[in-house]
Amino acid sequence: MFGYMIKRLIQMVVVLWAVSVLVFVMMSFTGDPTFMMVPLDATDEQIAQARRILGLDESHLVQYWRFLSNMAQGDFGRSFVFRQPALTLILERLPATLEIVFLAMALALLVAIPLGVYAGANPGKPASRAVMAGSLVGISLPGFWLGMVLIFIVAVKLQWLPSSGRGPTTEWFGLRVSFTSWEGFRHLILPAITLSIGTLAILMRIIRAEMVEVMKQDYIKFARAKGATAKGILFKHGLKNALIPLVTVFGLMLGDLIAFATLTETIFAWPGIGKLLVDSIYRGDRPVIVVYLMFVALMFVVVNFVVDVAYALIDPRIKIK
């Protein structure tokens, strides 16, 4: 186990390094950021000076080395637009994103588990077919469009919930969050529902497929023969084993939610890292894009590592090579 963890840690570092190379190469493609910094009527001399300050007059290899060593020291550069360290910008906005991501995840699990288990345990029933058709619709619709429909119906027409912004925030263990006040929570509802739909639909299908598999196993037949109640079989024998693979999709789920948060946050003007990324892309604010990508890569790599280790601990059938 220990050796396995060391090997995975080395893999993590290699992945992050590869991402840093890719990010650096792609960013060198995006044109010259010098013109973001200098006034429109700058002289050639001023432009050359700006290039020197940005370090763009040196070779790509030197630039990459500086990029890497700065990052290793925790210096990710400053935003061209905000004139602040890019990392600070990301960290400031992170709680807002995590708030809708976790609420969306909770919502998805809460709805998908019962429906998926039902559809998997009773295949062929009309209600199960309806659940499956519903999940296919959920996969097929663009999430951001659903957000717009919700805004139009719930916020514009019915005026039940606010259509955009984060609302009041309060301090909670040092983080600024909205869910602690009713007004703040009202702002959370629509973005979280919008974000959860895609994940919910996929999760439902995974749980159903898993449940169908599990219910075919010998231990289920044995439990039936033993005379266990239908409820006991479903929850004690079926559900418990069907949920193990959920641990492995956790990383994928989190990744998807973070990715789609860029769209959801844009629609609802939610001040999280996703909206920051989209705004930075519009403004050509390179340092912020780079930090966002490196940060998200780190997050995914760590989550996948934890998931793999947790999976091996939960399921004794899995042997680590």
Partner 1 sequence: MASSRPVISATLRPSRLRRFFASEFFHNYKRNLSAVLGSLIVFLFLAMVTAGPFIVSQNPYDVAQLDLMAAFKPPVWLEGGSSEFWLGTDGQGRDVLASIVYGSRISLVIGLVAMGGACLLGTTLGLIAGFYGGRLDAFIMRIADIQLSFPSVLTALFLMSAFGTGLDKVLIALISVGWVVYARTVRGSTLRETQKEYVQAARVSGLPNRRIILRHVLPNVLTPLIVVATIQVGTFVLIEASLSFLGVGVPVTQPSLGLLIKNGFDVLFSGLWWVSIFPGLFIMLLVFGINLLGDFLRDELNPRLK
Q: Which of 87, 113, 119, 151 binds partner 1 (CB under 8 A)?
A: 151
Q: Which of 7, 9, 13, 30 binds partner 1 (CB under 8 A)?
A: 30
**Amino acid type, 208:** R
Nearer to partner 1, 142 or 232 (CB): 142
Q: Is 308 in the site for partner 1 (CB under 8 A)?
A: no
Cα separation, 197 vs 48, whole angstroms: 50
Do 112 and 200 form a contact (C-beta atoms < 8 A)?
yes
Q: Which of 48, 111, 139, 244 binds partner 1 (CB under 8 A)?
A: 139
Residue 187, number of CB atoms within 10 A of its CB: 24
Q: Which of 293, 298, 309, 312 binds partner 1 (CB under 8 A)?
A: 293
Nearest to 10 by CA among 318, 311, 301: 301
x/- contact string, 273-292, with partner 1 (CB under 8 A)? ----xx--xx------x---
**DSSP SS3 for 131:** helix
Nearer to partner 1, 31 or 232 (CB): 31
Q: Which of 152, 219, 222, 235 binds partner 1 (CB under 8 A)?
A: 152
Instruction: Output the smallest distance, CB 267 to partner 1, in A.
Output: 7
CA 7 distance to own-chain centroid: 25
Nearer to partner 1, 25 or 314 (CB): 25
Q: Is 140 in the site for partner 1 (CB under 8 A)?
A: yes
Residue 85 gets which letter from DSSP? B
Q: Is 260 in the site for partner 1 (CB under 8 A)?
A: yes
The string of DSSP codes covering 163-197 is: -SS----EEETTEEESTTSHHHHHHHHHHHHHHHH
User: What tokens appear for 281 in the block?
Assistant: 């892309």
The string of DSSP codes covering 206-243 is: HHHHHHHHHHTSHHHHHHHHHT--HHHIIIIIIIHHHS
Element (H, E) at 202: helix 182-215
Q: Which of 62, 149, 313, 320 binds partner 1 (CB under 8 A)?
A: 149
Nearer to partner 1, 51 or 283 (CB): 283
Q: Is 19 in the site for partner 1 (CB under 8 A)?
A: yes
**DSSP SS3 for 18:** helix
User: What tokens appear for 251 in the block?
Assistant: 């990383």
Q: Is 250 in the site for partner 1 (CB under 8 A)?
A: no
**Site residues (CB under 8 A) for partner 1, limited to 44-103:** none
Q: Which of 53, 156, 314, 318 binds partner 1 (CB under 8 A)?
A: 156
Interface with partner 1 (CB under 8 A)? 15, 18-19, 26-27, 29-30, 133, 136-137, 139-142, 144-146, 148-149, 151-152, 156, 163, 255-256, 258-260, 262-263, 266-267, 277-278, 281-282, 289, 293, 296-297, 300-301, 304
